[in-house]
Amino acid sequence: MAEQQKKAYYVTTPIYYVNDAPHIGHAYTTVAGDMLTRWHRQRGEDVWFLTGTDEHGQKVMRAAEAGGVSPQEWTDRLVETEWKPVLQTIDAANDDFIRTTDERHSERVREFWQTLYDAGEVFEGAYEGPYCVHCEEFKLPGELVDGEDGAKLCPIHNRPVEMLSEKNYFFRLSAYADKLLAFYEANPTFVQPESARNEVLAFVRQGLQDLSITRSTFDWGIPVPWDDSHVLYVWIDALLNYATAAGYGTDPERFAHLWPADVHLVGKDILRFHAVIWPAMLMAAGLEPPRQVFANGWLLVGGEKMSKTKLTGIPPRQIIDVFGSDAFRYYFLRAIPFGQDGSFSWEDMAARYKADLADQLGNLASRLTSMVGRYRDGALPAPVDEPAVREAAEHAVTTAEAAIDVIDLQGAIIAAMDLVRVVNNYVSETAPWQVAKDETRAADLDRILYATAEALRVAAVLLNPVMPKACAILWGALGAEVTLGPIADQRVQEAATWGRLPAGATVTKTEPMFPRIEDE
């Protein structure tokens, strides 16, 4: 029977502004998307993971001016020297990288807005209001906070807003408030977590203002197709990346395969754009809204959002050079419940590295590989059941799978690490080094070694999406690469099936998964 082509699992990160280099806040959302997509790949699904850069607008233009080059030169340089390389640094396996200056994007954006213009969704008008260039957003006067000398500040950036008065084009966003509310009602998990959903509901219930979608005071943007004295507002250009990268307007088959996106991962700072403006734009064009917008919390520094503008951004390299990319990925996804705010500290990072990674996972792997080496010449004993360990492994897989379904990345990691902890205790309690001294108990020793190896196999499959480098080492050490094939091909659903590691698999002591970090 011909296999019907199923829709792909399509995940996106925000496309990041290239006014500056990436910091760990950007890496955080990308790493979350990477873990999620690696997990779905290990379910055997067809997955597409998109990231990229947002290059138009005043914020980027001013950064280029300050750098003394044209915006195009600026973005070309930053994308190549910073934004693409950071994906390697954090070990992200994205399938595509879109830039809003790509023609595949800008041409389709013009077509999209021309269609809405022709359909009467856009009108000419005037608007005056406070604008934050760092948000690239008009603010409502009531949202502003008071600064020194009576200045009005953006509540997110704590920087002065500018009064902008413009005659330009508007999208009839106000006409979509009721449709959006009906959509949220029919799709209760469209905005997650719950706190984000509540914020969006409250915002839309107040009614929506029409949205100014063009700018005529500067020209770094996509020219408006029906009036080339204006460029399109950066946000209504940027949001379309999710569709243009998926083949909207060029490749209907591919678009049908990818769209609607399964989840847009975003920071909570850009929730309204994704959960209000974006679905309204899609509705206006007769396209399906994405299935979910999931807002991650903020990484905080001194209680405030880490940011480029406040110079509190830590480059991922700084942490990864010390701890490695696996520990970086593990730390942020394990330490912070996904969706909530969290703080980074070197002390906390070092403590978790030691307690969870070196002393639990690394230690269990090293205990097993040395014992199989010492007592069984490196050959894994034959499969045999050990109900307590098998049940712990089954529980870990079921719990982790359920967590992934609701994008509880922390929950999935905890489930896997609980298994590691249980099995470390099992090894301590069964004391195989004592059992080994008694020749009449050879079968007991075989069972302990086999069960420990199987638990490690399951842990490796579950932890591979978050720590692919360390899990590849573990996979090799278990002799699984040779007997079961690459770890990335292991199905999570089948991970708990007991007895997959075959008798005689070659277990070897390898390089440490989590080397000791020298105290600084």
Question: Which residues are designated catalytic?
Answer: 23, 26, 132, 135, 154, 157, 305, 308
Q: Does 266 bind ligand ME8 (CB under 6 A)?
A: yes
Question: Which residue, 199 or 269, has its beta carbon nearer to ligand ME8?
Answer: 269
Rounded to a whole number of angstroms, the minimum distance from the CB of residue 332 to ligand ME8 is: 9
How far is the CA of 326 from the CAs of 357, 363, 473, in angstroms?
10, 16, 12
Q: Does 243 bind ligand ME8 (CB under 6 A)?
A: no
Q: Does 28 bind ligand ME8 (CB under 6 A)?
A: yes
DSSP classification of residue 250 = T
Q: Out of 29, 37, 360, 369, name the contact with ligand ME8 by CB under 6 A.
A: 29
Structure tokens at 346: 């070197």
Contacting ligand ME8 within 491-510 (CB under 6 A): none
What CA–CA distance (Å, rounded) separates 125 from 30? 38
> Bridge-partner residues for 99, per DSSP?
53
Secondary-structure breakdown of the chain: helix, strand, coil percentages, each rounded to the nearest 5: 50, 15, 30
**How many alpha carbons fall within 13 Å on the CB side of residue 36?**
29
What CA–CA distance (Å, rounded) separates 192 from 194? 5
CB of 6 within 8 A of CB of 262?
no
Q: Does 294 bind ligand ME8 (CB under 6 A)?
A: no
What CA–CA distance (Å, rounded) separates 212 from 390? 59
Q: Which amino acid is at 452?
A: T
CB of 132 within 8 A of CB of 154?
yes
Rounded to a whole number of angstroms, the minimum distance from the CB of residue 477 to ligand ME8 is: 35
Rounded to a whole number of angstroms, the minimum distance from the CB of residue 401 to ligand ME8 is: 25
Q: Does 267 bind ligand ME8 (CB under 6 A)?
A: yes
Rounded to a whole number of angstroms, the minimum distance from the CB of residue 328 to ligand ME8 is: 14
Q: Does 397 bind ligand ME8 (CB under 6 A)?
A: no
Q: Does 15 bind ligand ME8 (CB under 6 A)?
A: yes
Q: Out of 269, 418, 444, 481, name the contact with ligand ME8 by CB under 6 A.
A: 269
Say how far residue 247 (Cα) sits from the centre of its chain: 22
Contacting ligand ME8 within 181-240 (CB under 6 A): 238-239
Q: Out of 16, 74, 294, 375, name the contact with ligand ME8 by CB under 6 A.
A: 16
Question: Which residue, 238 or 372, has its beta carbon nearer to ligand ME8?
Answer: 238
Q: Out of 8, 9, 11, 17, name the contact with ligand ME8 by CB under 6 A.
A: 17
Element (H, E) at 215: strand 214-215
Rounded to a whole number of angstroms, the minimum distance from the CB of residue 37 to ligand ME8 is: 16
Q: Does 25 bind ligand ME8 (CB under 6 A)?
A: yes
Rounded to a whole number of angstroms, the minimum distance from the CB of residue 267 to ligand ME8 is: 2
Rounded to a whole number of angstroms, the minimum distance from the CB of residue 169 to ligand ME8 is: 20
Q: Does 55 bind ligand ME8 (CB under 6 A)?
A: no
What CA–CA distance (Å, rounded) separates 351 from 349? 5
What would the DSSP string read from start to end of 182-204?
HHHHH-TTSEESHHHHHHHHHHH
Q: Hunting for tokens 């084009």 — which residue is that?
A: 169
Q: Does 270 bind ligand ME8 (CB under 6 A)?
A: yes
Stretch of residues binding ligand ME8 (CB under 6 A), selected from 78-86, 265-273, 320-328, 403-411: 265-273
User: Counting Cβ atoms within 10 Å, is residue 97 exposed (0-12), middle (13-18) or buried (19+)?
Assistant: middle
Element (H, E) at 97: strand 96-99
Q: Out of 232, 306, 420, 436, name the contact with ligand ME8 by CB under 6 A.
A: 306
Q: Out of 11, 26, 110, 233, name the contact with ligand ME8 by CB under 6 A.
A: 26
Rounded to a whole number of angstroms, the minimum distance from the CB of residue 453 to ligand ME8 is: 38
Question: Which residue, 45 or 269, has its beta carbon nearer to ligand ME8?
Answer: 269
What CA–CA distance (Å, rounded) separates 399 from 415? 6
What CA–CA distance (Å, rounded) separates 216 from 166? 8
Q: Does 380 bind ligand ME8 (CB under 6 A)?
A: no
Stretch of residues binding ligand ME8 (CB under 6 A), selected from 2-10, 24-32, 345-353, 387-395: 24-32
Rounded to a whole number of angstroms, the minimum distance from the CB of residue 63 to ligand ME8 is: 11
Question: Which residue, 169 or 332, has its beta carbon nearer to ligand ME8?
Answer: 332
What CA–CA distance (Å, rounded) separates 449 from 75? 55
**How many alpha carbons fall within 13 Å on the CB side of residue 373?**
12
Rounded to a whole number of angstroms, the minimum distance from the CB of residue 187 to ligand ME8 is: 20
What CA–CA distance (Å, rounded) separates 55 from 213? 16
Element (H, E) at 170: strand 162-171
Question: Which residue, 30 or 424, has its beta carbon nearer to ligand ME8?
Answer: 30
Q: Does 305 bind ligand ME8 (CB under 6 A)?
A: yes
Question: Which residue, 17 or 328, has its beta carbon nearer to ligand ME8?
Answer: 17
Structure tokens at 48: 């597409």
Q: Dihedral angle at the C-alpha atoms of 191, 188, 337, 307, nearest 10 degrees? A: 10
Stretch of residues binding ligand ME8 (CB under 6 A), selected from 124-132, 261-269, 368-376, 378-386: 261-269
Question: Which residue, 15 or 380, has its beta carbon nearer to ligand ME8?
Answer: 15
Contacting ligand ME8 within 65-124 (CB under 6 A): none
Question: Which residue, 40 or 305, has its beta carbon nearer to ligand ME8?
Answer: 305
CB of 267 within 8 A of CB of 25?
yes
Phi, psi of 52 (to 5 degrees): 165, -165
Q: Does 56 bind ligand ME8 (CB under 6 A)?
A: no
Q: How many residues does the chain have?
A: 520
What CA–CA distance (Å, rounded) separates 393 from 63? 52
Q: Return residues touching ligand ME8 (CB under 6 A).
A: 14-17, 25-26, 28-29, 54, 238-239, 241, 266-267, 269-270, 296, 298-299, 305-306
